[in-house]
């Protein structure tokens, strides 16, 4: 499945990510520098913050309470479509998912 990353300057990168991997893993393996992922995907750091496209947020499974709490501590402003990329597992149904990258993670 492909996930499309939109950088703060508008550039887009469409990246193929394996089913079962997280959006964070796909991003870091392909050099998406806006995703820091300091905790390595353990839902502890909130430096893998992304904004899911408004019209696509309903495609994701709802977030856990822990993710919700962490999103209150993001460096860039939290928005209604904010998610942690390490908590989004790629599935075939998510092909074409578009996420915007915040301008800072710390
Ligand atoms: Fe740390 Fe996602 S990588 S919360």
| Residue range 76-91, pLDDT digits in tens | 999 999 999 999 999 9
Q: Cα(53)–Cα(45) distance, rounded to whole angstroms?
A: 22
Residue 32: predicted pLDDT: 98
Residue 77: predicted pLDDT: 98
Residue 4: predicted pLDDT: 98
Domain boundaries, the chain: 2-100
Residue 55, φ and ψ in degrees, nearest 5: -80, -5
Residue-wise pLDDT tens digits, 57-71: 999 999 999 999 999
| The architecture CATH gives domain 2-100 | Roll (3.10)
Residue-wise pLDDT tens digits, 14-56: 999 999 999 999 999 999 999 999 999 999 999 999 999 999 9
Rounded to the nearest angstrom, the distance between the alpha carbon of 67 and the centre of ligand 1 is 9
Q: Cα(59)–Cα(11) distance, rounded to whole angstroms?
A: 23
Residue 3: predicted pLDDT: 98
ipTM field: 0.99
Residue of 27, 41, 101 to mutate, ligand 1, most atoms within 8 A of C-beta:
41
Residue of 34, 82, 86, 105 to mutate, ligand 1, most atoms within 8 A of C-beta:
86
Residue 56: predicted pLDDT: 97
Best CA proximity match to 74, nearest among 40, 42, 36, 21 = 36
């Amino acid at each position: 499945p492909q996930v499309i990353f939109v950088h703060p300057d508008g550039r887009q990168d469409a990246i193929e990510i394996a089913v079962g991997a997280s959006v964070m893993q796909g991003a870091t393996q392909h050099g998406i520098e806006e995703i820091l992922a300091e905790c390595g995907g353990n839902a502890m750091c909130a430096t893998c913050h992304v904004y899911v496209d408004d019209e696509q947020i309903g495609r994701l499974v709802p977030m856990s309470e822990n993710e919700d709490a962490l999103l209150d501590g993001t460096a860039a402003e939290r928005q209604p479509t904010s998610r942690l990329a390490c908590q989004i597992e790629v599935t075939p149904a998510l092909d074409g998912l578009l996420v915007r990258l915040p301008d800072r993670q710390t």
